[in-house]
Amino acid sequence: MQAVILAAGESTRFWPLNHRHKSLFKIMGSSLICHLIEGLNNSGVKEVIVVQCPKRDIERELKTCPLPNIKIKYAIQKKPLGTGDAILRAEKLIKGQFFALNAERIDCRDYLKLILEKSRKGKGGAVLLSFPTETPWQCGVFKIKGDRVLDIVEKPKKGKEPGNLINAGAYLLPNDFLGFLKKVPSHPYSLIAALLKYANEKGLKTVELKKETFCLKYPWNLFEMNEYLSKNLKTKINGKVEKNCHIKGPVVIEQGTMVKSGSYIEGPVYIGKNCQIGPNCFIRPFTSIGDNCLIGQAVEVKNSIIEDGSKISHLNYVADSIIGEKCNLGAGTILANLRFDGKSIHSKVKGKLVDTQRQKFGAVLGKGVKTGINVSIMPGVLIGSNSIIGPHSLVRENIKDNEIFYTKLQKISRK
């Protein structure tokens, strides 16, 4: 059984973390694409074809992942022309029936067997995965009869939707589907158009999930994936833990990490290799800390993802936030995560406000961000890579990549 992983898109809505493909973001010690391939292997898939961009950064990453029991091949999509074109880039490597998955489908082990069983009952026909949503007018919606897909309506008018089931980005396709795909002009929705043609001529079935699953469009979608991966954690302490520390629940502490006296860690929590934790810090549930990180004196971290090489010095509060690699937060930096009115937090993406549908959400920092002492960052703010925020600054709006930002001090009259 083969699987084609679609990992060549630009991910513009994933800014400020899109300096590389979003599937290379690391949670719990591994990149998302490594988690996906491990899930495919556990589901019986023995060969994977990764469609990547010309940078070949995914290929370099996978060479560092311990995946000995699965064969990996690569195809290149020179231009981001959509998922349909991406599948055709892998055509020469595809041998028969194959899975096609978006690169964020790290939960594949939960449903691949269900999709395969549905296909076998249909004598090898095409099957896709769907899930219900509360906002079907924002998506491509399936018109379903029983388990058969009759139509796919892109972004219908509110109140005119044929249903509430949308595409989850996981397919099982017969080899002859490639012929249908070739007949469709190349455009961002060519895969959907080919699926609709196939449905009309040969039939297309769906496996319906009972609840909405994650979709990695925006940076804050990583929280759901982090929570999913955290549920499989089992306590493993390979680092050193000094006296007077308290460790509760499933906690992983990798080799070379030192947890200093007075620290309180409440799992599920993952801490990577060669980190320094504490003294006297508080790490709360659903936190993932990468390799070579510093979480210093009296720092509190809650439900956050911190990438490799970042340093959070002391007296900081980091909650419901994502910190890119090699960031440095000065003493007293606070990442606020809650509005006074308790309403859901909005973030500005590509110039438009987007409802994150999260009541608690801090900030997202790209790689290499530095903050001075006593910086305050408001909920939902996105900060570009390699930006510098001066001391005592209050950050209310997004900051672009490579920008220097500071709040101008007001002149105080001595009269």
Q: Catalytic site residues?
A: 314
Contacts of 315 (CB under 8 A, 6+ apart): 297, 298, 299, 331, 332
Dihedral angle sign, alpha carbons of residues 164, 351, 382, 309: positive
**Cβ–Cβ under 8 Å, residues 318 and 302:** yes
Q: Amino acid identity, residue 41?
A: N
For residues 31 and 243, what is the distance between their CA atoms, to the nearest angstrom? 33
Tokens of 17: 């973390």
For residues 2 and 71, what is the distance between their CA atoms, to the nearest angstrom? 10
For residues 72 and 47, what is the distance between their CA atoms, to the nearest angstrom? 6
Tokens of 323: 């910190």
Tokens of 68: 């000995």
What is the end-to-end Cα distance of the chain in Å, rounded?
80
For residues 157 and 341, what is the distance between their CA atoms, to the nearest angstrom? 31
Per-residue CA distances from 379 to 161, 254, 353, 360, 374 (Å): 33, 31, 13, 8, 16
Per-residue CA distances from 277 to 30, 237, 272 (Å): 20, 14, 11
Contacts of 348 (CB under 8 A, 6+ apart): 354, 380, 382, 397, 398
CB neighbour class for 299 (10 Å; exposed up to 12, middle 13-18, buried from 19): buried
**Cβ–Cβ under 8 Å, residues 274 and 257:** yes
